[in-house]
Amino acid sequence: MNHLFKKVQFLKAIVFSVCFILFFSNPVHADSTGQKLLADLEEALVSLADKVRPSVVSLSPYVPPSPSIRRQGDQSGAPANAGSGVIIDGAKGIIVTNGHVVRGSGKVKVTLLSGEEKIGTVLGADEDTDIAVVQIETEMPLSTATLGDSSGLKIGQLAVAVGNPYGLNDTLTFGIISGLNRENVNLSRYEDFIQTDASINPGNSGGPLLNIRGDIIGINTAIINYAQSIGFAIPSNIVRKVVDELLEFGEVRRGWLGVGIETVTEKIAQQVEGKAGEGVWVNSVFEGDPAHRAGIRIGDVILRIGGTAVDTPNRMIRLIGAFSPGQSVNLDILRDGKRKVVTVKLDNQKKRPDKVFKKSLQDIDEPSLGVEVESLGGDQGIIVSRIYPGSTADKQGLKMGDQIEAINGRTVLKVIEFKDVLNSVLEGGEIHVLVLRGKGKLRIELTQKGLN
């Protein structure tokens, strides 16, 4: 009800503004002109809905007709999550949706606006951006939505979301773009979300976020459960790149630099003779990786990548990932108070097996440790790839780039071992972490008392 009230207030504000302007500009014609403007807006929204709705589909789990004779290892009948999708190539039957909607499935049931059901094949999915591509067979070209350009979006622009929330097929909601470049939402590795107050609910995932012209500006991906009117969409320009690579290669190929990084704080800025919030500080360099080969050192501050300024670790991760493996890129760095340019030839991120595991106590309904870990590959061990400010790990001194050797005396060399040990430790309450930092080792205690 509160959300509905806010929407009504928003629409009232529009009406009041229109009437206010018209009254003072030409009071005699205020009523008729104001009604015409509102009628034009209404007609535009109805036209948009008629144009786009046929291209939005419902996705649900596919159950083979004879599951008892399904071949061993065949994942085509594994359950998917209910969600939405949008057709971006009606001639070929190409649909884009969220990765989590089709996770674990080789096939999904696709329901068109007409009610016709088809079996869709999952051509590829990218966990790092939560984007997936599904294809259905079609004899006639299907209605197609156009992927727009999200680079010029502005806060305050009108936005329309279409999807199938709570099984209510063919639902359209209306709002504005509330924010841009949102990160640290912990939904995916590469976060650069559009924030909108257009209602996005469970089942909307994978559906399109549209501008007033009916172009796709984003793919709806999630909401914040504890807040009203806060939804997120993946920008269309990111979607386009991911879809193109999934169709061509079956995976997304991203550049890999091979460093541990963190935000430049006031304290770090004083040490490096830089500015707080400008660039990212290198706290570890992985031996043999591109950064190491190019001469990047611990203590360097990376200011620009390919000419684009860097101000947060997430932004740097996105920028590096936007380059192709094997591509050379110039890094503007700050070292010992002096600026210099270093050229790095990037590796393929896919060479980093078991690369990211996001695990916290929050995953099992407990407060969060606030730490993410990353594999160094094979049995070389794992390192801390992210620390959340204010978390238990942050307060107890765990740092990005720390190599975790053991938890409560148990050696951990792989991310899956970290997961297993941490899950067993949770019941005991005390967590003693042995880390390798630089050339020294230290023990860090994370106890239930220190949890937020």
Which of 295, 321, 351 finishes a domain?
351
Cβ count within 10 A of residue 369: 26
Has residue 70 been placed in a domain?
Answer: no
Domain that holds residue 426: 357-450
**Choosing from 128, 130, 289, 402, which is the catalytic residue?**
130
Q: Are residues 164 and 265 in the same domain?
A: no
Q: Are residues 246 and 200 in the same domain?
A: yes
Q: Identify which of 373, 366, 357 has the alpha carbon closest to the alpha carbon of residue 407.
A: 373
Catalytic (active site) residue 205: yes
Q: Are residues 117 and 185 in the same domain?
A: yes
Q: Are residues 185 and 301 in the same domain?
A: no
- How many residues comprise the chain? 452
Lowest mean pLDDT among 100-104, 200-204, 268-272: 200-204
Question: By the 8 A CB rule, do 408 and 415 touch?
Answer: no
Has residue 69 been placed in a domain?
Answer: no
What's the confidence (pLDDT) of residue 294? Answer: 92
Q: Are residues 248 and 278 in the same domain?
A: no
pTM > 0.85: no
CA distance 234 to 211: 14
Which of 252, 280, 297 finishes a domain?
252
Question: By the 8 A CB rule, do 101 and 132 touch?
Answer: yes
Q: Are residues 87 and 7 in the same domain?
A: yes
Has residue 68 been placed in a domain?
Answer: no
Which segments of 127-253 are extended strands (E)?
Answer: 131-135, 158-163, 171-182, 193-196, 208-210, 216-223, 231-235
Lowest mean pLDDT among 29-38, 78-87, 353-362, 370-379: 353-362
**Choosing from 150, 205, 284, 375, which is the catalytic residue?**
205
CA distance 436 to 419: 19
- The string over 399-418, giving b where at least 16 C-beta atoms fall within 10 Å of a residue's C-beta and e elsewhere, is bbbbbbbbbeeeebbbbebb
Give pLDDT tens digits for 219-247.
998 766 555 668 889 999 999 999 999 99
Catalytic (active site) residue 3: no
Whichever domain contains 27, its CATH number is: 2.40.10.120
340 has a pLDDT exceeding 80: yes
**Choosing from 60, 89, 100, 105, which is the catalytic residue?**
100
Give pLDDT tens digits for 354-412.
333 333 323 323 335 778 787 776 667 888 877 777 777 878 888 878 888 888 777 88
What's the confidence (pLDDT) of residue 217? Answer: 94
What's the number of domains the chain is made of? 3
Torsion of CA 162, 163, 169, 171, to 10 degrees: -30
Catalytic (active site) residue 292: no
Has residue 442 been placed in a domain?
Answer: yes
